[in-house]
Structure formats: C-alpha cells, structure tokens
Amino acid sequence: MKELVSENIKRLVPYPPGKPIEELEREYGIKGSIKLASNENPLGPSPRAVEAIKKALGKLHRYPDGSGYYLRQKLSSKFGIPFDGIVLGNGSNEIIDLLIRTFIAEKDEVIVTEPSFLVYRLMVQAIGGEPIPVSLKNFALDLNDVIEKCSRSTKIIFLNNPNNPTGSTIRKRDFEDFFGRLSSSTIVVLDEAYIEFVRDGDVVRGFDYVNSEGPFVVTLRTFSKAYGLAGLRIGYGVMHPLLADYINRVRQPFNANSLAQAGALAALDDDAFMHKTRKTVWNGLKFLYLEIEKMGLEYVRSDANFFLIKVNRNAKDIYEAMLKKGVIIRAMNAYGLTNYIRVNVGTPEENKRFLQALREVLDMK
C-alpha cells in the first residue's frame, strides 16, 4: 500500500499551539488571566484599524482586491520601496511558506539560526529541503558562523532581526561584510517582525538592500506585533520585483482578506498608537529588567517586546505553576533552552502581576 504521507511530514514536530485563554481558565478554574506568551501588543489593536475594519464590513460579499493595490501603494510611498516588490500575506508566516515553496526544491539547503523562530525549519522540512542549523553564541549571532555553513546548495538564509526568542539584533556593518561574501544566487531573508521596537540606529534594515540583483534580500514585516493586529493575519514581504514575480505565480489570488487590507492600511497612519506602543514596551522593559535583577535572576537584554529569563528550574514546571496563577508565559524547552522562560511586555498592571506570580512560584515572596 502507498504511504499516506512522505517521511518529511512524518518527521515533523508540530509548532507548539497554545490553548484558547477561555479553555485554560475553565481547566484551571481561574478568571481574568493575562497572556504574555505570544509577543502581542498589550494595548489592543490600532484604533484606526478597528474603525476602518468596521467601515469595510458592508463589502464582505465581494472578493478582496487580489493585488492589494491600496495597501501596497501606501507601503511603497511610506517606506520608499518598490510597489512591484511587495507581496502581501496572511501574516508574514504565509510569506515564509511562499518563499520556501517557490524557491526550495528537495535537498536544497536553507540556513536557520538556533534558537530562532521555529516555523522556518518546520516549513523547510515539510517540503523536503535541508535545514542547516547555525547556533547562536551567548544569545547572539555571529555571521561568520553562517558563512562557514554556506555551500553550493545554500538557497535561502533566514535571519531574524531582532531574533525571537533572544531579542538580539544584527549590526549594519556586520551584515555588509557578510553580504559581500555571499554567492549571487543566495536569498537572505531578514525577518523584521519586531523591528518597530528597535531603538539602535546601527541595526541593519532589509529595505536598504531591496534593489540588489544577487545576492537577494527579502524583508519580512508584520502587522501582528507593534500594530496590534495579530488576529487579522496580515504581513508582507519586500523583495526585488524579479522574486515577487515568481512568488505571485505560487500565491493564492485572495490570500490577503479585505478586512486585513483595510485594517493594515489605516494602521499605517496611526502614529499616536505606534508611539504609545513603543513607549509602553520600552518603559515596561526597563521596569521588568530592574525587578528581575532585584530577584537575582539572569535575563537576556532584548531589542524587541519580549525577553528571556533564566529561572534555574525546568521552564515547563514554571510555565505550569504560572498558568495556575492566571499568567500565561512561554517555556523555552522547545527551543532547547530548558531553564528559560520568555515573557513579552504587558501593560504596567500586567507586568506587576507577572512579577508577583513569578516571585510566588519561585518562592521569593
């Protein structure tokens, strides 16, 4: 009998899904829990986006604009990037999937750094590509290590800047040096899901390389984090139009839904919300670092809206114990960091509640 699925699929370890908050509350008999586990915006969605979505509801009987014309126009003018090089996705996750399905054939090598966002490796494995891991040192990436792993079969290099879960960034001068040493057929993906939280002007930004005709740079951006629209599912990739043309052949015509397009378009003009979001995250990080230091715990400084804390115990146990107190965080066991939790910055009240729960769980009252 023919096998139901290929070995590639059998070997996959699924991305660890979280349960709905309502379900967790029911299971644990708790109320009013807080979620600091998925690096979302604690302030809610961009109010301008919500208004625009309400207005767009009456047109739900129509298919979305398959070309994403207005949103791509807006992105192009706001960031000075080529209209024909912008591809919209059902979250930036879909762009990762599209890149791999478009450019990776079986046995092609894809460099993934570790620890980093788990989805890159998963999607490469699903189609029979070869993920080539490069380990971070002391929670930061040395691009020389990436160069060492490059071969004639390397097609894509995934770099996450800032990196989830470490919050580390890549300096522009290090990137330039690295970029100059790559073969012209390589595609470097700079996943900038958290770039809006970066304050350091020396950090590389992928848009600066969009016109390179090889090696290529694809920048991934999302509305899920700083814009507060994770549930809407909208992100985009910015690349040389030659690459976008290939991806558009693989892309489903209506992959970015009409509410997502309307919401994202409005969110781009919501400067007040972006300002408030950044301030909340930066103040929150400062406060949390200080309090974690007072507890005598080690943590990893971050340029994103989340950071790692070393809890000196099995992180899964801490996760479970925090859950019972109604505080949802992420245990880093799946990332190979068994003594670390990752927490994202919440509102000031949520931050205090997280610290209180952590103190109780670690017996540091």
List contacts with ligand PLP (CB under 6 A): 39, 91-93, 117, 160, 164, 191, 193, 222, 224, 230, 235
Please report how close the Cβ of residue 249 comes to ligand PLP at its closest, in angstroms. Answer: 22
Nearer to ligand PLP, 92 or 186 (CB): 92
Closest CA relative to residue 221, chosen from 180, 177, 267: 267
Nearer to ligand PLP, 125 or 166 (CB): 166
Nearer to ligand PLP, 194 or 299 (CB): 194
Nearer to ligand PLP, 92 or 258 (CB): 92
Please report how close the Cβ of residue 206 comes to ligand PLP at its closest, in angstroms. Answer: 13
Nearer to ligand PLP, 162 or 215 (CB): 162
* 310-313-314 Cα angle (round to 5): 105
| Residue 249 Rama label (left phi>0; alpha psi -120 to 50; beta) | alpha
CB-closest chain residue to ligand PLP: 91
Measure Cα distances from 263 to 67, 90, 224, 233, 278 in Å: 16, 13, 11, 10, 20
Please report how close the Cβ of residue 107 comes to ligand PLP at its closest, in angstroms. Answer: 25
Please report how close the Cβ of residue 236 comes to ligand PLP at its closest, in angstroms. Answer: 9
Please report how close the Cβ of residue 165 comes to ligand PLP at its closest, in angstroms. Answer: 8
Measure Cα distances from 364 to 117, 171, 187, 315, 320 in Å: 32, 38, 48, 17, 17
Please report how close the Cβ of residue 143 comes to ligand PLP at its closest, in angstroms. Answer: 18
Instruction: Return d(Cα 316, Cα 146) in angstroms, integer.
Output: 31
Please report how close the Cβ of residue 41 comes to ligand PLP at its closest, in angstroms. Answer: 12
Please report how close the Cβ of residue 240 comes to ligand PLP at its closest, in angstroms. Answer: 21
Give 195: exposed, middle or buried? Use CB within 10 Å, 0-12, 13-18, 19+: buried
Nearer to ligand PLP, 123 or 244 (CB): 123
Nearer to ligand PLP, 90 or 258 (CB): 90
Nearer to ligand PLP, 167 or 361 (CB): 167
Q: Radius of gyration (Cα) for the chain, nearest Å?
A: 21
Longest dimension (CA), the chain: 62
